[in-house]
Amino acid sequence: MSRIISASLCALFVFAIGSTDASAANAAAGKAVYDASCVTCHKTGLMGAPKLGDKAAWAPRIKKGNAVLVSNATKGFKGAVGMMPPKGGNAKLTDVQIADAVAYMIK
């Protein structure tokens, strides 16, 4: 519990100073973003998207580092299997929301 609280406080702090330090991304907040904007592809693997909870699909991606994953999710990414649209196609999402959603997806 205290970890969750300190992670939230940390995320708030990062938000307050306008940085998008992904190490403080909030996976709990990211669930709502995922459910609204990422689930279509990342639940079923549509278009080759790595599925939520598919450790084998995520392992090589996680090795690239969180900053790369967040950047690719924000700007869009064309990989070996398909096309990840910028911000999952929802341009209204903030960089912090994307970082949170990535944290939720790889946790």
Q: List contacts with ligand HEC (CB under 6 A).
A: 33, 37-38, 40-42, 46-50, 61, 64, 68-69, 72-73, 77, 79-85, 87-89, 93, 98, 101-102
Beta-carbon neighbour count of residue 37 at 10 Å? 19
In the complex, what is the shortest distance from the CB of residue 105 to ligand HEC, in angstroms, rounded to a whole number? 6
Q: Which residue is nearest to ligand HEC (CB)?
A: 79
The minimum distance between CB 55 and ligand HEC, in angstroms, equals 14
